[in-house]
Amino acid sequence: MRQFSLYTTTAAVALAAPAWAQQSAFTLDPIYVESAARAERLILDTPVSVTAVDAENLLNRQAGDFNELIGDVPGVTIGGGPRAIALEPNIRGFTDDQIVLRFDGGRFNFNQGHRGRFFLDPALVKRVEVVRGGGSTLYGSGALGGVISVDTVDADDLLEEGRTIGARVGMGYSTNGGQWSANTAVYADWGNWDALMFLGTRDTTDNYTSGDGADIPFSELDQQNATIKLGFEPSADSRFEFSYSDYHDSALTLASANGAPSSSNPEVNREADEQSFRFSWDYAPEGSDALDLSVLFYGDRLKITEDRVSAPRHDETTYDSLGLEVINRSRLDLGVPVEVVYGLEVFKESQEGTRDGAPRSTFPPAEAMTTGIFAEATFELSPQFDVIAGARYDAYNRKPGDTSLADVEEEFFSPRIGISYRPNENWQVFANLSRAYRAPSLSELYNDGLHFPGNPFGFPPDNFFVPNPDLKPEESTQFEVGARFEKRGFRQADDKLSFSVSLYNAEVKNYIEQTVDIFAGTTTSDNVDGRLWGLEAEARYDTAAWFVGGGLSIARGEGDDGDPLASIPQDRLTLEAGYRPDEDWLFGARATFAAEQNRVPATGVAGESWQTLDLYAAWTPSSKAMAGSSFRVGIDNVFDQRYTIYPNELAQPGRSLEVSAAFTF
């Protein structure tokens, strides 16, 4: 189910929404974002393209995966097909690790072909911020397309006013795939201390069916997620927080989970285990203009095991990362007011693949270290006009486990200049010119060995990876111009009209493109140049009784040879309308229209146009006897359309009835 708004779109709860999404009464609170500037700002004071997927609209999504969670944000596509374990992000045609993924502030850089990047139950998500466009000045390598920041729920989000301890139990069911979900959260706040424990499970017991009634094979999936959080505030100025999350999934699937069954894509029994920790300290003394400090130490460990069904073969893939961020925000007077955010970031990654206990060259052992320092200043030249200037310096190295391959050491400078003009309290006009980059991944540099077997009769031959340690980092020069409008009391006291539009152009040098040569039997990564450009717009009009909204994404891209890039998503329009007969009830409908994608590479397959309609209803009773409970029902893909999300060629799920309930104690 999909929902659009100008500055808040629907994030997801699992099939049971926690208390932080229970406020069903209509509000007109201002929207703040943090990821766009690494500091909390009103969105009308934020001179970049950003969407906050916030708790205000979390009631109705009933998301089972990250495509349902954020896949309809303007400029965003979650690709990889219908299987949750293969989902990968796409922003404006930049894909995979050309986008920085952050979970509770920590980077997650894992990217291996045909395997997804999302290892988190949507039930834990309380907020998502999507920053579109080059963001390397603040986020370094990978922020070519933008940044997706996911925040998970805290005890403070769940506790009802006046209570120090509570619990929430939720359950739900989706007919397509027979997906059951259940989760329990226990939480408390004892003044200086707070704690949360979450346990959730989500089981897709059958294959999905597409709109034409055909099975989508290997879409069954079992998932479990457990999280604990502990917070301590020794004073009003200081907070420490520790969290630990353990995610597990298991499935009978395919070696390339985003593809169809074939002789070169065999069945495997897969298990994935991902553990992560976060330890943070925030210190902001009251009245201090010099100190607003955030320190984060984080780590992730991912292990994927795959046992081939047709023949004995045991593959293990491990990815580890450790990171440290130290960021401070200061307010200065240099003749004009200046806000500065500055800091350093260090993260280390290592990977290793084995096959039957021996090193696996298709995921070779290697290590990476990246160190970056950055600063960005906002100069308030007048109450209406700001100039933003920033710069970042990164140095990185890559070390393969194979001594016959060369180490890689590079550095990159990422400047940015921007302006923000507020002609009045309702309007903002902004423009940005920035440099962004992505360092080659360990797999792109060092992959070796058999990619896929050929025909036993000789053609096509077996296909082998060819390592290329000479790959250069991807670089882009990006320009964007946009405008926003937001006004409360537009036609009546309790309404709000908001809309935005942005145009962008990204000149990309050394774009890393993987080339599969069927005749030569090789797969290698090379640098090419290209350009990506497009338009995004979104609008919403909201009153206490009803609302309408919509979002538009138009993207284009081509290589320096004029051939279209394969990663450019379909043009897409989403419309939404809803009715609130009273504070307890909400009824709504969403329609999505995706255009045919016929601008594809010479060897590509065009994407067909498609349209879907989703309906939903929510009842969140406000009576004392039922307070804290919620009941939802929705129908996704009402007309059971068969459709695919380009460039993946697998059909998405057809019609599905979804029901859920949640109760607070």
Residue 431 lies in a domain: yes
d(CA 616, CA 312): 47
Residues in the chain: 665
Residue 15 has pLDDT above 60, yes or no: no
Pairing of strands 179-189, 165-174: antiparallel
Q: What is the pLDDT of residue 439?
A: 87
Residue 63 has pLDDT above 90, yes or no: no
pLDDT digits (tens, 9 = 90+) for 175-201: 999 999 999 999 999 999 999 999 999
- Residue found by looking up tokens 């004071």 in the block: 45
Identity at 573, one-letter amino acid code: L
pLDDT digits (tens, 9 = 90+) for 105-150: 999 998 887 789 999 998 888 999 999 999 999 999 989 999 999 9
Distances (CA, A) of 207 to 133, 305, 306, 431, 579: 36, 22, 20, 47, 34
Q: What is the pLDDT of residue 500?
A: 96
Among candidate residues 141, 72, 93, the one with its CA nearest the CA of residue 552: 72
Q: What is the pLDDT of residue 604?
A: 84
- Residue found by looking up tokens 């990876």 in the block: 465
Task: Give me the phi and psi of 70, to 5 degrees please.
Answer: -135, 10
pLDDT digits (tens, 9 = 90+) for 122-134: 888 899 999 999 9
Residue 16 has pLDDT above 60, yes or no: no
How many domains does one find in the chain? 1
Residues in a beta bridge with 457? none
Distances (CA, A) of 551 to 6, 7, 331, 447, 506: 8, 11, 36, 40, 21
Give the DSSP H/E element, type plus range, for residue 506. strand 496-517
pLDDT averaged over every residue in the chain: 90
Q: Domain of 215: which CATH number?
A: 2.40.170.20
Mean pLDDT over 262-273 rounds to: 92
C-alpha 130 chain-centroid distance: 7
Q: What is the pLDDT of residue 119?
A: 95
Q: What is the pLDDT of residue 19?
A: 41
Percentage of the residues of the chain whose pLDDT score is greater than 70 = 95
> How many CA atoms lie less than 13 Å away from 600 in the CB half-sphere?
14
Residue 473 has pLDDT above 60, yes or no: yes
State the burial class of residue 638 (Cβ atoms within 10 Å of its Cβ: 0-12, 13-18, 19+).
middle
Q: What is the pLDDT of residue 224?
A: 97
Residue 573 lies in a domain: yes
Residue 127 lies in a domain: yes
Q: What is the pLDDT of residue 56?
A: 61
Residue 3 lies in a domain: no
Residue 148 lies in a domain: yes
Q: Which residues form the domain of 289? A: 8-664
Mean pLDDT over 234-260 rounds to: 96
Residue 577 lies in a domain: yes
Q: What is the pLDDT of residue 191?
A: 92
Residue 1 lies in a domain: no
Who wins on pLDDT, 361 or 214?
A: 214
State the burial class of residue 581 (Cβ atoms within 10 Å of its Cβ: 0-12, 13-18, 19+).
exposed
Who wins on pLDDT, 24 or 215?
A: 215
DSSP of 84-143, one letter per residue?
GGG-EEEETTEEGGGEEEEETTEE-----TTS-S--S-GGGEEEEEEEES--HHHH-TTT
Residue 26 pLDDT class (50, 70, 90 cuts): low
Distances (CA, A) of 334 to 338, 340, 374, 375, 381: 7, 12, 20, 16, 11
Who wins on pLDDT, 303 or 39?
A: 303
Q: What is the pLDDT of residue 59?
A: 60
Residue 574 has pLDDT above 50, yes or no: yes
The answer to whether the bond into 312 is cis (omega within 30° of 0) is no
Q: Specify the DSSP class assigned to residue 43.
A: G
Q: CB of 628 within 8 A of CB of 664?
A: yes
Please tell me the least confidently modeled range out of 308-312, 402-406, 430-434.
402-406
Q: What is the pLDDT of residue 55?
A: 65
Q: What is the pLDDT of residue 24?
A: 42
Residue 444 pLDDT class (50, 70, 90 cuts): confident
Among candidate residues 59, 57, 52, the one with its CA nearest the CA of residue 73: 52
Residue 2 lies in a domain: no
Who wins on pLDDT, 458 or 469?
A: 469
d(CA 590, CA 607): 22
3-state secondary structure 580-637: CCCCCEEEEEEEEEECCECCCCCCCCCECCEEEEEEEEEECCCCHHHCCCEEEEEEEC
d(CA 324, CA 141): 15
d(CA 616, CA 62): 10
Q: Specify the DSSP class assigned to residue 45.
A: G
Mean pLDDT over 534-549 rounds to: 95
